Chains A and B, each alone.
Chain A
Amino acid sequence: MSLVFRPKHIFGETFSSLRRNFLMGFTAITTVAITLFIVGVFSIIVFDIQSVLNSIENQVEIAVYLKDNISDDLKIYIEDEIKEWPEVEEVTFISKDQALERFKTQNEGSDILKEIQGNPLPASFEIRLKDPQKIEQVALRFVDKDGGNIEGVDEVIYGRNYVKKLFSITAVTGTIALLIIIILVLATMVLIFNTIRLSIYARRKEIEVMKLVGATNWYVRAPFLFEGSFEGFIGGGIAVLLLYFLNRFLLIKGETALVETMRIKNLALLGTDNVIIFIYLAIIVIGILIGLLSSGFALRRYLKV
């Protein structure tokens, strides 16, 4: 197959076609952008929740914060007790000084440090379990008969409620999102399909002559495939730009707040993670694929070679 690369042939048509059917092309590109933006937002949320879940499960499963006035005897007694429990994989004592040290390294350069006076952070036991499922059962051992905490313990954090909520939120929103995305992708494909159909129609005489004088099938198809993928590419690009700003000005702040309320340590923040670059690239690739596929369908339907 001899397909001589003629940029004018492949690219030139796209622009004259976009000029000819500006409204159609514009609508198609906008729909691609909206669709992929929503895909992007949900991917980010799903990846985020996943990373929060991972952090909760893999890092501190139960943090037992101790009262500042706890006696050494009681502290040692509680530690020995915890070590006896068969569910426990590892227990680490974090003193007040260590807690402060860690807080400082985690918030290096932040204004928060200037506002800290003395050491407001409590000492704690961090308990890792062999089986994360047992987390509630173990955590409840720090609760006494009246529903308060046992002596010497200020607060027990184990994120179980967050985990449950996150799971149910992801399940429901995930299903709804998937439905919305499928509908939007179909709508997008119909719109691109239509722009390509119009382009084929507008160029039907040229196509007839091309086939008559022996242009290869790919030579005839190439401009339309390019036009479709170009619309997908531009739509995907716009979606990525929107996502970038959304992430920059909303998500990262939201995530930081989330991390602070949940006291999760060492959480890999998606907003600053390489994963987001991957999501951006994937969105552009998906845009191009949607465009290629839609124009492919249009060619099958309207361009018999």
Chain B
Amino acid sequence: MNMIEFRNVSKIYENDSAALKDINLVIKKGEFVFMVGPSGSGKSTFIKLLIKEISSTTGTIFIAGRNICNLKNNRIPQLRRNIGCIFQDYKLLSDRTVFENIAFALEVIGKPNYIIKAQVPQVLKLVGLYNKMDSLPHQLSGGEQQRVCIARAFVNRPPILLADEPTGNLDPATSEGIMKLLSRINLIGTTVVMATHEKSIVNAMRRRVVELEDGIIIRDQKRGVYGS
């Protein structure tokens, strides 16, 4: 089953800079894909198109077989509930505890309290932060904050998880832990797309690698490496 499909997708920003040019790409359910390339090559643009934070200029994008380009504004939230998203800067709310940060994500999509109380501790166990649920973000290390971010993205069990440079602010050892966690999430059936420019991480994983340069796919390899 095709989880993500790009057909002749181009994105030209308002200032006429073409971030993606005529992209054709299929990602199957359960795959783990690295989007690699230097800064400015279009990785973040690719991710933002998937959650419809921006819209493609031309071409069509399918998610689970559905064309998301003609999605009405009020259907976008439904799309986003099925896609978890993590970032280099974590985007945690600094005045809320770990538990509250994750609960917030369920609250705002209308999940009842008893589900929140059941699911948040469960996902905290998965990311290994069960005993830190009452800490505030600033009391955590960078790696732990990223785990909270992953927990928040995954608490709703979305079929797709997107990661935009999740290890950008972390040291290699911590990054390895994050990659293990993402692998585990991938192993239970989640399709994972991760944008990065860190060669060592990509090379250690031996997963599919799609390389972008100036908005064009220049390489798509099954068990690839990056800049060998």
* B117 sits at the interface (CB 8 A): no
* A150 sits at the interface (CB 8 A): no
Q: Contacting A215 at CB < 8 Å: which of B85, B93, B108, B152?
A: B108
* A116 sits at the interface (CB 8 A): no
Min distance, Cβ A206 to any Cβ of chain B, angstroms: 6
Q: Please indicate which of the listed interface residues A2, A205, A209, A214 has the most CB atoms of chain B within 10 Å of its own CB.
A: A214
* A213 sits at the interface (CB 8 A): yes
Complex Cα spacing A217 to B52, Å: 14
Q: Please indicate which of the listed interface residues A3, A208, A216, A217 has the most CB atoms of chain B within 10 Å of its own CB.
A: A216
Complex Cα spacing A115 to B94, Å: 78
* A19 sits at the interface (CB 8 A): no
B105 contact set on A, CB distance < 8 A = 209, 213
Q: Please indicate which of the listed interface residues B74, B85, B108, B152 has the most CB atoms of chain A within 10 Å of its own CB.
A: B108
Complex Cα spacing A148 to B223, Å: 117
Closest chain A residue to B112, Cβ basis: A4
A305 contact set on B, CB distance < 8 A = 73
Is there contact, CB below 8 Å, between B80 and A214? yes
Min distance, Cβ B104 to any Cβ of chain A, angstroms: 7
Is there contact, CB below 8 Å, between A4 and B91? no
How many interface residues does A have (CB within 8 Å)? 20
Complex Cα spacing A210 to B109, Å: 8
Is there contact, CB below 8 Å, between B110 and A213? no
* B204 sits at the interface (CB 8 A): no
Q: Contacting A206 at CB < 8 Å: which of B77, B82, B93, B109?
A: B93
Min distance, Cβ A211 to any Cβ of chain B, angstroms: 7
Closest chain A residue to B80, Cβ basis: A214
* B51 sits at the interface (CB 8 A): yes
Q: Residue-by-residue, is B44-88 near A (CB-CB < 8 Å gives 1, otherwise 0)?
A: 000000010000000000000000000001101111111001000
Is there contact, CB below 8 Å, between A212 and B93? no
Interface residues of A in 189-216 (CB under 8 A from B): 205-206, 208-216
Min distance, Cβ B195 to any Cβ of chain A, angstroms: 16
* A9 sits at the interface (CB 8 A): yes
Is there contact, CB below 8 Å, between A209 and B74? no
Is there contact, CB below 8 Å, between A213 and B156? yes
Q: Residue-by-residue, is B17-36 near A (CB-CB < 8 Å gives 1, otherwise 0)?
A: 00000000000000000000
Q: Residue-by-residue, is A50-89 near B (CB-CB < 8 Å gives 1, otherwise 0)?
A: 0000000000000000000000000000000000000000
A301 contact set on B, CB distance < 8 A = none
Given A205-B91, A205-B93, A209-B93: A215 touches B74 (CB 8 Å cut-off): no
Min distance, Cβ A200 to any Cβ of chain B, angstroms: 16
* A112 sits at the interface (CB 8 A): no
Min distance, Cβ A8 to any Cβ of chain B, angstroms: 9
Closest chain A residue to B111, Cβ basis: A4
Min distance, Cβ A54 to any Cβ of chain B, angstroms: 51
Q: Contacting A9 at CB < 8 Å: which of B73, B93, B107?
A: B107
Closest chain B residue to A220, Cβ basis: B108
Q: Residue-by-residue, is B145-161 near A (CB-CB < 8 Å gives 1, otherwise 0)?
A: 00000001100100000
Is there contact, CB below 8 Å, between A2 and B110? yes
Is there contact, CB below 8 Å, between A213 and B73? no
Interface residues of B in 90-126 (CB under 8 A from A): 91, 93-94, 104-105, 107-110, 112
B107 contact set on A, CB distance < 8 A = 6, 9
Min distance, Cβ B129 to any Cβ of chain A, angstroms: 18
Complex Cα spacing A144 to B39, Å: 103
Is there contact, CB below 8 Å, between B80 and A211? yes
Is there contact, CB below 8 Å, between B73 and A210? no
* A1 sits at the interface (CB 8 A): yes
Min distance, Cβ A2 to any Cβ of chain B, angstroms: 5
Is there contact, CB below 8 Å, between B73 and A214? no
Min distance, Cβ B83 to any Cβ of chain A, angstroms: 8
Min distance, Cβ B136 to any Cβ of chain A, angstroms: 14
Is there contact, CB below 8 Å, between B74 and A212? no
* A37 sits at the interface (CB 8 A): no
Q: Please indicate which of the listed interface residues A3, A9, A211 has the most CB atoms of chain B within 10 Å of its own CB.
A: A211
Closest chain B residue to A209, Cβ basis: B91
B80 contact set on A, CB distance < 8 A = 211-214
> Which A positions have Cβ atoms within 8 angstroms of B?
1-4, 6, 9, 205-206, 208-217, 219, 305
13 more CB-based (< 8 A) A-B contacts, given A209-B108, A214-B77: A2-B110, A206-B93, A209-B93, A209-B152, A211-B80, A213-B80, A213-B81, A213-B153, A214-B79, A215-B109, A217-B73, A217-B77, A305-B73
